[in-house]
Amino acid sequence: MWVVRTVIWPALVWLTRHGLRPALVVLGRVLVWLARYLVLWPLRWLGTVLTPVGRLVVAAVVGAWRTAGRMLRLLHRLLLRPLLSGVRWVWSVTVVPVARGLRAVWRATVAPAARWARRSVLDPARLAVREVLNALGLRR
């Protein structure tokens, strides 16, 4: 915009004031003709040719997308859903009972022993260390 205001427009004003207006009018008409016949018409023709091609490409992509979605849905219904149901059944019959048994054994054996060790050994040791550190002034 700066170039138009400072260079081009003052040059055009100077040319029109000094009698070159007819030459500028002819130049403008030539430029309009060139733009119309060398730019706009080929672009219009290209648009009329490429529009059906573009619509065809869009229709093909949309159709392929929908077909892929239908195929994936069919694959899910016919293959994955029964497979996952079978895996769920096998898991519930084999792994879940074993895990529940291990949990019961853990709660019956390890948990009481760990609770006894904490209450009988670790808690008194922790209290003794705390009292020693307090007595020495090393604990905040």
Q: pLDDT of 122-138, one tens digit each?
A: 999 999 999 999 999 99
What percent of the chain stands above pLDDT 70? 100
- The reported pLDDT for the residue numbered 4 is 76
- The reported pLDDT for the residue numbered 1 is 77
- The reported pLDDT for the residue numbered 98 is 96
Cα 114 to Cα 24, 52, 80, 117: the distances in Å are 102, 78, 44, 5
- How far apart, in Å, do the first and last CA atoms of the chain sit? 74
Of 37-51, 80-94, 117-131, give the lowest mean pLDDT range.
Answer: 37-51
**Region of residue 19 (left: phi > 0; alpha: psi -120 to 50; beta: else):** left
Q: In whole angstroms, what is the distance from residue 60 CA to residue 55 CA? A: 9
How high is the mean pLDDT of the chain? 90
pLDDT of residue 46 exceeding 80: yes
Cα 52 to Cα 42, 48, 55, 113: the distances in Å are 16, 7, 5, 80
Greatest mean pLDDT among 11-15, 30-34, 49-53, 121-125 lies in 121-125
Residue 115 pLDDT class (50, 70, 90 cuts): very high
**Region of residue 60 (left: phi > 0; alpha: psi -120 to 50; beta: else):** alpha
What average pLDDT does this structure show over 42-56?
87
Start-end of H helices in the chain? 2-3, 9-17, 21-35, 41-75, 81-117, 123-136
- The reported pLDDT for the residue numbered 16 is 77
Quote the pTM value: 0.43
